[in-house]
A and B are shown apart, each in its own frame.
Chain A
Amino acid sequence: MAHDPHHNPGDPPTLHDVDTVSSVVTVYAVVLALAVVNILLTFAALGPMALPVQLGIGAVQACLVAWYWMHMRRGDTAVTLSAFTTLFFMFIFFVLVLADVLTRWRAAI
């Protein structure tokens, strides 16, 4: 992680480490707007596309929250690795289970 040469690691947070109110509120507005869109799309009869669209909106919201509010943009390598490791384990979890379930011969369930 890059260090500001003028900033002693032992000093309290300088103003460039502090989120601005405008950035926090902007993310809030976008996340809330996406939630409203998600709810309104429920009544749009998207058919089979409804689920991917809803999950896509959720993923965008999660990325915004993680990147800005959870400060992943600070670039702590270990934190970034932890987050992506989580996604990787989720991927394995879903793939292994669904590979079983979706390839079963189902007579009549």
Chain B
Amino acid sequence: MSASTHGHGTVLKHHFDNLEQQHSAERLGMWFFLVTEVLFFTGMFVAYTVYRNWYPGEFAFASSHLLWWVAAINTGLLITSSLTMTLAIRSAQLGDKAGLIRRLLLTFALGAGFMGFKAFEYATDYHEKFVPGEMFRTEYARPLAELTADDAKRKFEGRPALTRTEVESYQFKGEYEHWSQDLAKRNYGREPATEGTVSPERVQLFLCFYYIMTGIHGVHIIVGLGCILWLVFEAYRGAIPREAYSKVEVISLYWHLVDMIWLFLMPLLYLIRSGGGQ
């Protein structure tokens, strides 16, 4: 059979009785895969839950220094891409090839926009050294060193040491990242692990969760974009007649799941600041 003939003989596979049964099987196959994907992410969410429960202050601190406005834009892009993907199914069901290709390309553009903002966000975080490891530790040490030097100078001049209020309103002379200034102000002059302090190691732990969870989500977005491009190619060559709309539907099921995961990921990583972490 050639791909250019699109009656039931091509779309309906020989081991199915009818198209409805075939479509049901296709949907169920994708749903079974989605079950495994959800459990995959559940592992990360469980681990996140444990550590957020143990270190709420550090998680809230780190979250408050992420680019929440980028996450907000990304949320809008992803929800809109789910809309266009659902409308693409409708176009496929109605046999509207041009509409199908248009809506698939729109979905792709929105998903690519998401990844573009994600790349900008990662680049900004990297530039600000808000990355777990040596860069973080080095950047954190810099404002602390200035505070220590200032205190030493005061002591040499016979003046009292910096009070807590002075530390909190301290204007740094050097150029340091916003998060390292805040972290230094929180911890300077306090014993580690006492009330009010924020452990830099646990902040880095949050960052590990942030990069791994959003990174793996990003990989899923890229895979989804590849599948959407494949659909565009299939639609362009006429391989998605009305009877084969389920090709679009199964990819849309995957895309909606990736969207749903983001709807939970975003508030858990970016929106801790409203006091839920303290």
- Give residues in A with beta carbon < 8 Å to B: 8-13, 17-19, 21, 24-25, 28, 31-32, 35, 38-39, 41-51, 54-55, 57-58, 61-62, 65-66, 69-71, 76, 78-79, 82-83, 85-86, 89-90, 93-94, 97-98, 101-102, 108-109
Q: Which of B230-272 contact A (CB under 8 A)?
A: 241-243, 245, 249, 252-253, 256-257, 259-260, 263-264, 266-268, 271-272
With both chains docked as a complex, state the minimum distance between the C-beta of A7 and any C-beta of chain B, in angstroms: 9
Interface size on B, residues (CB 8 A): 63
Closest B-chain residue to A83, C-beta based?
B31
Closest 8 CB pairs of A and B: A50-B276, A9-B20, A9-B18, A54-B267, A10-B18, A12-B242, A50-B274, A28-B83
A69 near B27 with CB under 8 A, answer no
B28 near A35 with CB under 8 A, answer no
Closest B-chain residue to A76, C-beta based?
B24
B3 interface residue per 8 A CB criterion: no
Determine the chain B residues whose CB is within 8 A of the CB of A39 once the complex forms. 68, 72, 75, 271
Q: Among B53, B193, B260, which residue has the most Cβ atoms of chain A within 10 A?
A: B260
B260 near A61 with CB under 8 A, answer yes
CA distance A70 to B24 in the complex (A): 13
Determine the chain A residues whose CB is within 8 A of the CB of B278 once the complex forms. 47
A70 near B68 with CB under 8 A, answer no
A58 near B20 with CB under 8 A, answer no
Q: Which of B31-51 contact A (CB under 8 A)?
A: 31-32, 34-35, 38-39, 42-43, 46, 49-50
A85 near B267 with CB under 8 A, answer no
A101 near B50 with CB under 8 A, answer yes
B260 near A66 with CB under 8 A, answer yes
With both chains docked as a complex, state the minimum distance between the C-beta of A68 and any C-beta of chain B, in angstroms: 8
